[in-house]
Amino acid sequence: MIHNISYRVMVHGTEDEEKVIKALKNILPTASPRREELEGHHGNPLTLLKGKIADKGTIKKFTERIIPLLGDLDIERHVDEAGNLFLRLDKQRAYNGEWELVEHGDSIHLKLKIEAYPARREVAIKNIKKLIT
């Protein structure tokens, strides 16, 4: 169902990077993020943590946990033309081991490459809907 999961999460200068990594690992335990130092709009320090998960075991466990959250999601709004499903999970709740889909930007950003042959938006949406019903 999911080929791979790309993730990215921003660490603001006022946040503890280790806590943000813990939140990420509560969602994707095998995550091994690369760090990129950035500067915010107002010159504030930012760190971008990003990476990709292709491990089938991790993806299977992730899928089992995320499926119940997708029932109320407007799937069409979250899938691009290449068949990727974009989700955001609340960073604070993830730190506590809870999973909550959110719309705000200060979150764990996920891009799920959905299995679809051919790799088209319509096929991916159909496959996601089959999985959640």
Least Cα distance to 53 among 103, 13, 94, 113 occurs for 113
Give the model confidence (pLDDT) of 37-50 as tens digits.
Answer: 999 888 899 999 99
pTM for the model: 0.94
Tens-digit pLDDT profile for residues 79-112: 999 999 999 999 999 999 999 999 998 999 999 9
pLDDT tens digits along 2-40: 999 999 999 999 999 999 999 999 999 999 999 999 998
Query: What residue has token string 């299995």?
Result: 115
